[in-house]
Amino acid sequence: MKFKAAQIAAQVGGTVEGDSGIEVHRVDRIEEAGSGSLAFLANMKYAPHLYTTGASVVLIPEDYKLEKTVNSTLIRVPDPYSAFAELLRLYEEQKASRLTGVSPQAYIHPKATIGENCYVGEFAWIGENVVIGDGTQVYPHVYIGDDCRIGDQTVLYSGVKVYRDCRVGSECILHSGVVIGADGFGFAVQSDQKYLKVPQTGNVVIEDFVEIGANSTVDRATLGSTIVRKGVKLDNLVQVAHNVEIGSDTVIAAQTGISGSVKIGSRCLIAGQVGFVGHIEIADDVTIGAQTGIARSVREPGTVLLGSPAMDASLYKRVIVWFRRLPDLGSRLSALEKKVKE
């Protein structure tokens, strides 16, 4: 498929500088793009590539000032990254047709209800009293346990497992290997130091527009529900324990582990390999850097945290400066001790 610069600008609300009739038929990174490619400039460390790229069209910030002449046609937009994401979404919608139909090799319980225009692939297993909304895609080898509810236009890729009595909203995406509703990690220590399993009788509720990356897990609650609110995005390899609640539009990167009964606010940004102890609360709009250890509640909205144990980002940066100087300070201290002895 080919698109003209003028068509792209109209779609993203941009302004063309250059040949509005030039066509592109693929998307590339700005440093690797060639003729016929669409690229974007959002991170200014890549700005030098704007003057050497072979891309036919480049999305740039509307307030960016050119340092010299460029060969590409430019489209100025408020946010190049968001505009590029929107164009990729439209491109994917046109390229990928949604599947429909139910494979005769799938198992569907007689009491299950499947909506209109759904796809159920080979060897999928859909249990008793399951309700699946219109247009939902259930790829091969998906398991959906008894009494589950899946919304409209949701995609469950191959290998997804949804245990009994769980809820998944509309327009969600669950990637391969996702497990929803496995037992929470609950054991009672006995007098003989053995562990008695605590039955996990709750469920998982995932609201609309949630995306969960490959091999991530969301455990069912001991009582009540583990809840993932509307618009949450979880990366690959994220662990969400029993009775956790994640607020709307929060984003969590890979290898983060959230212990039981943690409540995370809305619009939080949580980087990779962050660890949360159990039974704490995180306010709205909190940003947490990679490998941070959260051992206590964060009450102040908008807080930025780094380090383990976590501390305010500005304090952490000062601490790191001194930490790097410790070998030199140690040598100086040893020299002073030697002089005192002398």
CA distance 292 to 282: 14
> What whole-number distance in Å separates Cα of residue 87 and Cα of residue 1?
13
Give yes or no: 242 in active site: yes
Q: In whole angstroms, give the CA distance from residue 6 to residue 293.
A: 48
The active-site residue, picked from 25, 141, 242, 279, is 242
Q: How many whole angstroms separate alpha carbon 166 and alpha carbon 175? A: 17
Backbone angles phi, psi at 151, to 5 degrees: -75, -165
Structural tokens at position 299: 């009450």
Q: What is the phi/psi pair of residue 104, to 5°?
A: -65, -15
Contact 103, 124 (CB under 8 A): yes
Neighbours of 269 (CB within 10 A): 15
Tokens of 306: 């780094």
d(C-alpha 283, C-alpha 141), whole Å: 38
**Contact by Cβ (8 Å): 263, 281:** yes
Enumerate the β-bridge partners of residue 150: 132, 168
Positions marked catalytic: 242
